[in-house]
Structure 1
Amino acid sequence: MIHWILFAWFAIMPAQPENFTLTVTVTDIETPEGSLRIGLFDKGDRFLERDQAFRSVNIPVKSSSETFTFKNLPKGNYAISLYHDVNDNDTCDRNMFGIPKEPYAFSNNFKPLFSAPDFEDCRFELKDDKQLSIKLLN
């Protein structure tokens, strides 16, 4: 009888979603001041749009590399965009052609040539705990 009760309980309980941890290390930071502004995106249609990240974080820069962790992320596809806000003005300063004047980077260490990357260029799959290393482009 107890076996049937346990079976019935597990049968009606919703499956708990798996959540994972993503640890990211940003390297090649030349100026140990300001902040890293990091956006974690889970969809391509709003990739790189300000305030559209699935999660975002600002990390004070104190050394030539900084590590941060996103916790409780569901399984899925993600992409990261970040920049080093050296002057801490909450803006990625750009030149007159729209090219960032402050260091920036993307997941997969994607290096754009003539235009900003799209979600697919920077996409990675999260299906277990993961560690990424992203090198700033200066």
Structure 2
Amino acid sequence: MVVRHWGGYVSVDWDCDGDNIEPLLWCLRFLIVDHLPLDYWLSRIFPAIEKRYAGGDPGWEITNVDLDTGDMLYDPSGKIIYRVWIDEDISYLESGVGIYEEAIIKYHVRRTLENFRAIHPPSSSEIDALVLKYGLDYSI
């Protein structure tokens, strides 16, 4: 496994994560940042048992709601699904939409929080609390 820095506190392992992860990685660059409380955006996407939406500049959004019907998104097995959108003109990425199971979102949020912890050790207790609060484990 070769994990590489992607941007902000986000990292990626292309062999494990695959190419279709880029819209999520782009959003994570704006979800976990130095200038906002760590829970600022996380509280807007978790817990997924309720309708959730987060988004902002520069052109990103994460939701577990069908924006046309207002219904929560589920796959056929009943797992919660998130739709991630990024502005392709701003991000310069080819694919502006990603569809991910909740476990994948949580996995990458946790990895991003661990990268944040490595740079900001005083945030460790806050990160530990968020991991427990939102069930952010590494299993996918």
Query: What range is the shorter-chain TM-score in?
Result: under 0.3
Structure 2 length-normalised TM: 0.26
Whichever of the two has the greater Rg, that structure is 1
Greater helix proportion = 2
Greater strand proportion = 1
